[in-house]
Structure 1
């Protein structure tokens, strides 16, 4: 697996800086979080892959058959493909902590990778994830730093499923933080503040 397997926006890591993987939401692209990451962590490197699945022209990271209904075989295959891509970057940057940031569909592929390959990331930020299935237990998630954000009235990512995901990570022994607001699927300032504090906290 080469570093260029996905079309991706990349930025080199400064000395002792982390390497941030940023995953866009459905209909976004590799530029969606580049400015935000630069503002939060100016010393960080950036790898922002572009989803390679098109849903009526909107880019995604895996297929679905309906709203909230995933093609599980496709998700499994693309999870492994993404894990290989991330692993190659980790090997190329052995001194850099790896942080993952994903929104909506990007949060879902990031979570799916973490369920199977927890050791790839040092911190995982999931903004408005939707995981409509029960992940398998993974002891490697113990101690992992995880941030989950959501809107209590999100019509795309129902709050009970988000709370179930929070419980899952807690049951694995992860260090879970949450930031919920009273809105819907949009990212609000309270989430961005929580994200900044989470990503910029000392190692």
Structure 2
């Protein structure tokens, strides 16, 4: 386990604050959601890694052989590496709640890590994920708070796959909330507000709109 397994941006948490892991989409980097994560949970320790797979120059967290077709052997290896990275950061802050969110490819690596290591995260935000396989049951997800957002006309994440993932998390007895719209793969403001409510349910979703365009890539 190493906190240096990935190029990343990191801030230290304030006393009693959670850790928030932010995972970018294809072609993004460690800067894509770093500021957003700080706005979502003021005082949190933010860890934002850069994917270490290059797809024609675009950073990703695991390999694929086509649109929606994953290299499952590579995914398994990348999940183990990412889980070790997260566990190493978590070990540095014992007792701190651990939250994670990701968009598109970032949501996919986060979902896969949560399936393999449900103990790592307390709250999980999956923004336009695509899980094209049938996951095995993961009893350890029971009680975990999970947000899933999706667009019914998303050309990258077909709605039936999104619905199947929502149903799967529900079957694991996770506390699932959703934010579904009739749009495509773009990330919309209501999704960010829903993510804020997931991480800070006691406060209003009152984020500054300055990051709304920065995070969409």
* TM category, shorter: over 0.9
What residue number does 2:98 align with?
98
Runs (4+) of structure 1 exceeding 6 A deviation are: none
Scaled by the length of structure 2, what TM-score is found?
0.92
SS at match of 1:119: coil
Deviation at 1:190, TM superposition (A): 1.1
> What RMSD, in angstroms, separates the aligned Cα atoms of the two structures?
0.8
CA distance in 1, matches of 2:152, 2:94: 38
Q: What is the aligned residue count?
A: 202
After superposition, give the CA deviation of every residue in 1:170-195 in whole Å (9 maximum; x if it has no partner).
Answer: 00100000001111101001111111
CA distance in 2, matches of 1:201, 1:89: 24
CA distance in 1, matches of 2:92, 2:6: 16
CA distance in 1, matches of 2:117, 2:2: 18
CA contact (8 A) 1:181 1:188 kept: no
What residue number does 2:27 align with?
27
SS at match of 1:120: coil
After superposition, where does 1:21-170 map in structure 2 within 5 Å?
21-170=21-170
SS at match of 1:118: coil
Gaps of 5+ in 1: none
Residue 5 (str. 1) matches residue 25 (str. 2): no
After superposition, give the CA deviation of every residue in 1:48-89 in whole Å (9 maximum; x if it has no partner).
Answer: 010000000000000000000000000001101100111111
Deviation at 1:95, TM superposition (A): 2.4
Gaps of 5+ in 2: 203-217
After superposition, give the CA deviation of every residue in 1:112-144 in whole Å (9 maximum; x if it has no partner).
Answer: 000110000000100000000011101101111
CA distance in 2, matches of 1:143, 1:154: 29
CA contact (8 A) 1:150 1:159 kept: yes
Residue 194 (str. 1) matches residue 211 (str. 2): no
CA distance in 1, matches of 2:73, 2:39: 37
